[in-house]
Amino acid sequence: MAGESSSTVAAGDNAKALSALAGTLDVASSTSFTAPGQVSVVASGGTAVLAYTGTGSGTLTGVTIVSGTATWTLATGNAVTGGSSIAAGDNGTALSALAGTLDVASSTSFTATGQVSVMTASGTAVLAYTGTGAGTLTGVTVVSGTPTWTLATGNAVTQATVAGTGGGGYGTGGGGGVGTNTGNAGNGGRAASLSLIHI
């Protein structure tokens, strides 16, 4: 199963313009990336999408610009996230018109189910999906964003972190007592317990 891949820009590409990459992006680690693929890279002017054809020790190779401006510069530590971009089939499509399927250049770097952040002309939308196909995410629903926002070929699509849910509820205590257990939402939040012992 494909998983989320991420790294950061390495010192070798600090202050380098996208146009000066000469086909190679230096990253802190390339081990989580599969080739070929696409990555979203935080740059001086925004988030660029780069396609690559191979990986080396601390490098992505065969790099070309999918979206972003050639003069945007990189900085050491900027996020490099595995993902993809909007494919031509969804160019000009509103979020409300996706009909459950998002066309992407490649679906190989995404988990089998999850959420993605999608750049649109109006802002960043978050979409949930339940499956992947060849160049598609399926079972797509809008989590955040406006239904009228439209997509464009080359817009970045990256794996999003799904917020966790907290514990809580009511339970029976041991030793002849009654116990309650409440939790604060937030992925393993603090829990407070109260037991009443009958004597």
Query: What are the pLDDT digits (tens) for 122-166?
Result: 999 999 999 999 999 999 999 999 999 999 999 999 888 765 544
pLDDT for 170 beyond 50? no
Distance, in Å, from the CA atom of 84 to the CA atom of 76, rounded to the nearest integer, reads 22
Distance, in Å, from the CA atom of 188 to the CA atom of 130, rounded to the nearest integer, reads 25
pLDDT for 177 beyond 60? no
- Residue 163: predicted pLDDT: 58
- pTM here is 0.68
The residue-averaged pLDDT of 157-177 equals: 58
pLDDT in tens, 77-112: 999 998 899 999 999 999 999 999 999 998 888 888
Mean of all residue pLDDT scores within the chain: 84
Question: How many angstroms separate the Cα of 136 from the Cα of each of 80, 88, 129?
Answer: 22, 12, 10
Distance, in Å, from the CA atom of 132 to the CA atom of 138, rounded to the nearest integer, reads 6
Q: Name which of 11-15, 17-21, 143-147, 153-157 the model is least confident about.
A: 153-157
Give the closest residue to 87 by CA, choosing from 152, 177, 3.
152
- Residue 37: predicted pLDDT: 87
- Residue 40: predicted pLDDT: 92
